[in-house]
Amino acid sequence: MKLPRYKRDSLVSYTLGATLTYELIKTAPEQITRIFLRPDIEIGHDLSRIISEAKRLKLDIIESQKPFNVLNAKGDCLMIAEFNKHSSELNHREPHVVLVNPSDAGNLGTIMRSAVAFGFKNIAIITPAVDFYAPKTIRASMGAIFHLNVQEFSSIDEYRQQNPERPLYAFMLNSTAQHLAEAAQSAPDNYSLIFGNEAAGLPANYADFCQSVFIPQSQYVDSLNLSIATSIALYSFRQI
Amino acid sequence: MKLPRYKRDSLVSYTLGATLTYELIKTAPEQITRIFLRPDIEIGHDLSRIISEAKRLKLDIIESQKPFNVLNAKGDCLMIAEFNKHSSELNHREPHVVLVNPSDAGNLGTIMRSAVAFGFKNIAIITPAVDFYAPKTIRASMGAIFHLNVQEFSSIDEYRQQNPERPLYAFMLNSTAQHLAEAAQSAPDNYSLIFGNEAAGLPANYADFCQSVFIPQSQYVDSLNLSIATSIALYSFRQI
């Protein structure tokens, strides 16, 4: 069985875990190329249900330890799906979440989970950025990634050219920043919420073409964690 | 130099990093027993400023690689403060955040950071729980822990006996749960916000003595990450 290590330019990626795999089976079974099952385990009720569903969909199930070793899947990972990466485009008539140079797979996955929780379906990523299809990102998203359109852009200008005439809200501190609660209350449709990199935040010039927004916070912390700040913003602007 | 590995019952703990150490120097220098500095590094502007401040306060500064090895401090950690753990009691006249059996150091630290950001100064932890003074928790808190009263209780009953007559809000789904926005709007003073364990949530019987509260979310996610859910709740109930 041929199974190279996962790389960013691989055409396939992997769900490391039974729950994640089940999420993919329910959401986009047509993307699945094969399913790997650890050979040495006792099959309990939950796993048995997932296997039945995979068999019903005529998915290829292979018992083998090797993929678990190659993909460095930890002891509690009993099942892996290999699936074709799928390119998707943003829906122009819906709100967008725009992440500028996100660098941490855990943060990106957590933001995806919050986005889906609060009814957002479109995420733009401005590169350079962490690989949104990396198994670690998928795992942190708890499968939320399968409910999202995710599209990469090489710059914010490219994003703006392809997505014109949208109100843009940039989360950053400056003298004209609006309180999150006010911004959320007065938002029209089809807006974009823009968040900077974990360490650097957003460049100051974003204020030239965006309404800047701040999350009120005490002087005793430097900042909020990126996935926390983003989730609070998505909750406030929620679409559900 | 005697330096055992950190354990939960150690009388001292450690700040792994220069920024964290500076936060402790500014907040509670009297707790610091000594400061360790990596011997092999070039001292830049920021580090030099921290060292000056430590010298001004007559803190003991020791150049040695050993503590960095013993404490498994990564390559970018240039400075460590050893400090006496400090027991603190909750303020009865202020709101409390109550965490029931939190199990992840990263989540606990992130919740501390959000608590301080939104003006909460008191955290109750119901044991068994992750060690709130572990270096990993302190690091995830980005120093926020030094601005908090943190007190452990062996059960929710013990917490309630020592903190009677407080409105209790339990974050859980049940048929009588109130929407977060409504609960936050109508909250009186001196309330307690109660959050369950990452995997298990809160036991159903909490609804017998608490107002249950839910965070609205789509059917496409199972739940929010604990630190995300807690931070959204703290933002909504914020004291700033």
| Amino acid identity for residue B98 in this structure | V
Distance from CA of A119 to the nearest CA of B (A): 6
Cα separation, B26 vs B50, in Å, equals 10
- Interface A–B counts its CB contacts (< 8 A) at 76
The CA distance from B17 to B138, in Å, is 10
**Residue A36: which H helix or E strand, with range?**
strand A32-37
Residue type (1 letter), A212: S
- Do B240 and A217 make contact, defined as CB atoms within 8 angstroms? yes
Nearest CA in chain A to B181: A236
Distance from CA of A234 to the nearest CA of B (A): 10
CA–CA separation, B235 vs A214, rounded Å?
A: 13
Q: What is this model's ipTM? A: 0.93
CA B69 – CA B31 distance, rounded (Å): 23
Shortest CA gap A157–chain B (Å): 31
Asked if A240 contacts A118 with a C-beta cutoff of 8 angstroms, the reply is yes
Residue of B nearest to A111 (CA): B228
Q: Which amino acid is at B165?
A: E
Q: Give the rounded percent of residues in chain A with a pLDDT score beyond 70.
A: 100
Alpha helices, H only, chain B = 18-27, 45-56, 66-70, 105-117, 135-140, 156-162, 180-185, 226-236
Going through B87-235 in order, the beta strands assigned E by DSSP cover: 96-100, 122-126, 149-153, 168-171, 178-179, 192-195, 211-214
Tell me what pLDDT residue A171 has: 98
Alpha carbon distance A181, A216 (integer Å): 9
Alpha-carbon gap, residue A173 to A179, rounded angstroms = 10
Kindly report the nearest CA distance between residue B143 and chain A, in angstroms: 8
Under a CB-based contact definition with an 8 Å cutoff, are residues B124 and B237 in contact? no
Per-residue pLDDT for chain B (240 aa), expressed as one digit of tens each?
778 889 999 999 999 999 999 999 999 999 999 999 999 888 899 999 999 999 999 999 999 999 999 998 887 899 999 999 988 999 999 999 999 999 999 999 999 999 999 999 999 999 999 999 999 999 999 999 999 999 999 999 999 999 999 999 999 988 899 999 999 998 988 999 999 999 999 999 999 999 999 999 999 998 899 999 999 999 999 998
CB contact under 8 A, A232 and B232: yes
DSSP for A69-113? Answer: HHTT--TT--EEEEEE-------TTS-EEEEES---HHHHHHHHH
- Chain A: residues touching B (Cβ < 8 Å): 110, 113-114, 116-119, 142, 144, 147, 215-218, 220-222, 224-225, 227-228, 231-232, 235, 238, 240
Q: Which residues pair with B12 in a beta bridge?
A: B84
In this prediction, residue A155 has a pLDDT band, given cuts at 50, 70 and 90, of very high
pLDDT tens sequence across A32-89:
999 999 998 889 999 999 999 999 999 999 999 999 999 988 878 999 999 999 889 9
Residue B220: which of A147, A220, A232 has the nearest Cβ?
Answer: A147
Phi-psi group of A72: left, alpha or beta (phi > 0 → left; psi -120 to 50 → alpha; rest → beta): left
Nearest to A240 among B147, B218, B225 (CB): B218
Residue A22: both structure tokens together: 């089940």
Over its C-alpha atoms, chain B yields an Rg (Å, rounded) of 20
Q: In what order do the strands lie in the sheet with B149-153?
A: B149-153, B122-126, B96-100, B192-195, B168-171, B211-214, B178-179
Please choose, from the candidates A171, A97, A93, the residue with its C-alpha nearest in 3D space to the C-alpha of residue A132.
Answer: A97
Instruction: Sketch out chain A's domains with CATH numbers.
Output: 12-84 (3.30.1330.30), 96-236 (3.40.1280.10)
Preceding omega of A4 cis (within 30 degrees of 0): no
Provide, as residue numbers in chain B, all residues whose Cβ is less than 8 Å from the Cβ of A224: 113-114, 117, 231
